[in-house]
Structure 1
Amino acid sequence: MAEKLLILHGIWNARSWVLPLARRMRALGFDAEIFAYPSVLGGAEAAIPALTRRIRQSGPTLLLGHSLGGVIALEALRRAPDLPVARLVCLGSPLCGSQAARTLVGRRWTAPLLGRSGDFLDRGCQPWSGVTEVGMVAGTVARGVGRLFARIDGPSDGTVSLAETRLPGLADHCNVASSHTGLVFSAAAARQAAAFLRQGRFLPADALPGPGSNQR
């Protein structure tokens, strides 16, 4: 029986944005569904209780969240530690807070772009100590809209720096050659996500075809 998997999109995205990722995860053997939410008008604080209800209704599941989706998933697990989620994989999620979001929120003319999720992305998550195993797949190709609005220090995926993905308490962390947006469409990212969701650890770099990944 295929393992149940719930996928969360990031900010400014909709269900259709992560359909390619859902199809890829289904091909890898998961019963993948998408949790859609209004990321700007509704915001993270509305999405968290909705996600909590969805998990309680559907029963044990795995989680995969891109960008803001990963932050929302981790915060939902922090607030409701009894949720039946064994593992969560975040794709490029700024769990330590986002410099790009901080810059946008700090300017009156750009703050509305993030809507009700702005402060949440700025703040990030507390160090993780819950029972759910959490892994991070981070991109290393610095192409993305974040660079248009803010200076991103150090290696990044163009929107989120690697440092912003390294929250204390994560079970594992790996890098793939992808931009922030590209993580949703990356075969390497999907393969790494599948490995962690099943085994609690990522694959070594030489186990992936092509450019693969760089595990740290």
Structure 2
Amino acid sequence: MPTDVILLHGLWMKGFAMAMLNRRLREEGFRVHQFEYMSVVAPPEQAIARLRKRIRGLAPGPVHVVGHSLGGILALLACQDLDEPGGRIVCLGSPLNGSSAARGLTHHWGGDVLLGRSRELLSHGLDHWEGPREVGMIAGRQQVGLGALVGDVGSEHDGSVGVEETRLPGLTAHCILETSHTGMLVSADVARQAAYFLREGRFDTPLV
């Protein structure tokens, strides 16, 4: 039986944004499920509760989760005390330490409206990871995007999220690829590394 993988899109996106990654993970032999949620108008707690239910519904598993940007944060929160079923998590450009771009937007007219109910979660992120699942982070450093215009994302970033914003105590593995924030969704390298981590619990790249 193929192993199940749930995909979570990021802020302002819908499930179709993950179509290329979905296809590539299927080609890698996984059974892929798309998880849709309202990233602006609904509270994150609603998506987290639904995701936990979806994961349990696919038990006995394992059930892996791959989340892009905000989706990666939601994946960690949903799985932080979820012992069964087993599985791994891959975050793609997720600002686990909090997003300076999100904090910058809150100081501009309309920023609170753009970020909606996800503002606090994106602005502050998490403190650390102590959940039962192994978590791998794929960060990008191709600087294509507008995030640097509204926040201090650092010298190394993917156009929206700084590499340092993707580091969090407790992660199993971290790798940096030549891709932008939205480019991760169509990158063959990202899909290959994500699949490798889901199978092996590590990335097929030098440690960074």
**What's the TM-score once normalised by structure 2's chain length?**
0.95
RMSD: 1.3
The alpha-carbon deviation at position 122 of structure 1 amounts to: 0.7
Deviation at 1:83, TM superposition (A): 4.0
Give 3-state SS (helix, strand or coil) of 1:114's partner. Answer: helix
Partner of 2:186: 185
Structure 2 unaligned spans of 5+: none
Structure 2 residue matching 1:62: 3-state secondary structure: strand
1:103 corresponds to 2:100: no
Listed one character per residue, the Cα deviations across residues 29-76 of structure 1 (whole Å, up to 9, x for unaligned) are: 110111010111114222111111111122121010000000000011
User: Which residue is equivalent to 2:203?
Assistant: 202
Distance 1:83 1:37 in 2: 23
1:94 alignment partner in structure 2: 95
1:37 & 1:156 partners in 2: Cα distance?
26
Distance in 2 of aligned mates of 1:182 and 1:133 = 24
How many Å apart are 1:201 and its aligned residue?
Answer: 0.4
Map residues 149-188 of structure 1 onto 2, 5 A cutoff: 149-188=150-189
Is 1:105–1:119's contact at 8 Å kept on the other side of the alignment?
A: no
- TM-score scaled to structure 1, two decimals? 0.91
1:82, distance to aligned residue in structure 2 (A): 2.4
Identical aligned pairs, as a percentage?
A: 46
* 1:108 shift after superposition: 4.5
Q: Is the 8 A contact 1:93 1:165 kept in 2?
A: yes
What SS class does the counterpart of residue 142 from structure 1 fall into?
A: coil
Specify whether residues 185 and 3 from structure 1 end up closer, same or farther in structure 2 by C-alpha distance, changes over 3 A only: same
* Distance across 1 between alignment mates of 2:180 and 2:129: 25
- Seen in structure 2, the aligned counterparts of structure 1 residues 83 and 119 have a Cα distance that, compared at 3 Å, is farther
Q: Using the alignment, how far apart are the partners of 2:205 and 2:117 within structure 1?
A: 38
The letter of the residue matching 2:106 is V
2:37 match: 37
Please, which moves more after superposition, 121-130 or 81-90? Answer: 81-90
> In the alignment, what sits opposite 1:4?
4
Give the corresponding residue for 1:22: 22
Match of 1:52?
Answer: 52
1:72 to 51, 71, 74: 74
CA contact (8 A) 1:67 1:94 kept: yes
Distance in 1 (CA, whole Å) between partners of 2:151 and 2:19 is 29
What is the rounded CA distance, in whole Å, between the counterparts of 2:19 and 2:31 in structure 1?
Answer: 13
What runs of 5+ residues in structure 1 fail to find an aligned partner?
A: 206-214
**Could you tell me whether the CA contact under 8 Å between 1:95 and 1:125 is conserved in 2?**
yes
Measure how far apart 1:3 and its partner are. Answer: 1.0
Q: Give the SS at the match of 1:46.
A: helix
Cα offsets for 1:148-184 (capped at 9, x unmatched): 3223222000100010001011000001100000011
Instruction: Return the letter of the residue paired with 1:196.
Output: F
User: Which consecutive segments of 4 or more residues in structure 1 shift more than 6 A?
Assistant: none
How many residues align? The count is: 206
